[in-house]
């Protein structure tokens, strides 16, 4: 376990994480400040804009990092996944603050549970996306494919009339099916991460 945390710390010290984390928090703070009502306006619906923005940003990050982890060494890939999950959890205090100001009908537990579960599910989808794109030799287009995938998931759900994969509706509406699908993807991802971690250790021992 100590080695796992050491790998995570090493991964987080790399230049992309501080920059990405700063941009994520800056975007969410700006969203919250913009959506917060002016004094005298009793209707505070800032949580809805905040939750949907947070959900889309985390989906993009998880898909992007998942796609990059698809070609990383097994142990680094696990560290990348944990780093993404940690970032998803770190935004929850802002979520609670926005929720407390808006007090929407959607229960707070939905955000607390769905945020890390969704991040894990999108990570797995990102790994699949990364491998598929590289299999057809289009890896250079991943920066375009990742946001296109988010749009595609949104349009697919809207067309079928459900909330299973898209991050926009799922941010503000409790969807058991969404949670089941993302949790199932997450469990599959955890299983492969454990196998990858052990395989990475075996490679290091035999190298």
- Domain regions of the chain by residue span: 2-37+45-206
Closest to 122 in 3D by CA, of 184, 66, 51, 69: 66
Tell me: the pLDDT tens digits for 86-99?
999 999 999 999 99
Burial of residue 159, with CB atoms counted within 10 A of its CB: 0-12 exposed, 13-18 middle, 19 or more buried: exposed
Tell me: the pLDDT tens digits for 149-176?
999 999 988 888 888 889 999 999 999 9
Task: Report the pLDDT value the prediction gives residue 161, as an integer from 0 to 100.
Answer: 84
Cβ atoms of 156 and 166 closer than 8 Å? yes
The average pLDDT across 75-92 equals: 91
Task: Report the pLDDT value the prediction gives residue 138, as an integer from 0 to 100.
Answer: 81
Q: Could you tell me the pTM of the whole model? A: 0.90
Phi, psi of 166, rounded to the nearest 5 degrees: -80, 140
Closest to 74 in 3D by CA, of 207, 198, 185: 198
Cβ atoms of 165 and 178 closer than 8 Å? yes
Q: Residue 41's pLDDT band (boundaries 50, 70, 90)?
A: low
């Amino acid at each position: 376990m100590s080695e796992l945390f050491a790998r995570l710390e090493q991964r987080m010290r790399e230049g992309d994480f501080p920059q990405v984390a700063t941009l994520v928090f800056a975007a969410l703070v700006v969203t919250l400040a913009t959506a917060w009502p002016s004094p005298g306006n009793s209707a505070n619906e800032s949580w809805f804009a905040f939750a949907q923005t947070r959900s889309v940003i985390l989906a993009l990050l998880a898909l992007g990092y998942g796609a990059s982890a698809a070609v990383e060494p097994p142990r680094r890939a696990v560290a990348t996944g944990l780093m993404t999950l940690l970032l998803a959890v770190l935004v929850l205090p802002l979520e609670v603050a926005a929720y407390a100001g808006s007090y929407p009908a959607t229960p707070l537990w939905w955000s607390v549970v769905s945020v890390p579960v969704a991040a894990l599910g999108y990570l797995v989808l990102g790994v699949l996306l990364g491998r598929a794109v590289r299999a057809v030799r289009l890896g250079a287009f991943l920066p375009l494919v990742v946001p296109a995938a988010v749009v595609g998931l949104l349009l697919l759900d809207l067309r079928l009339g459900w909330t299973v994969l898209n991050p926009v509706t799922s941010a503000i509406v409790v969807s058991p099916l969404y949670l089941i699908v993302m949790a199932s993807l997450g469990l599959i991802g955890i299983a492969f991460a454990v196998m990858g971690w052990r395989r990475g250790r075996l490679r290091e021992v035999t190298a």
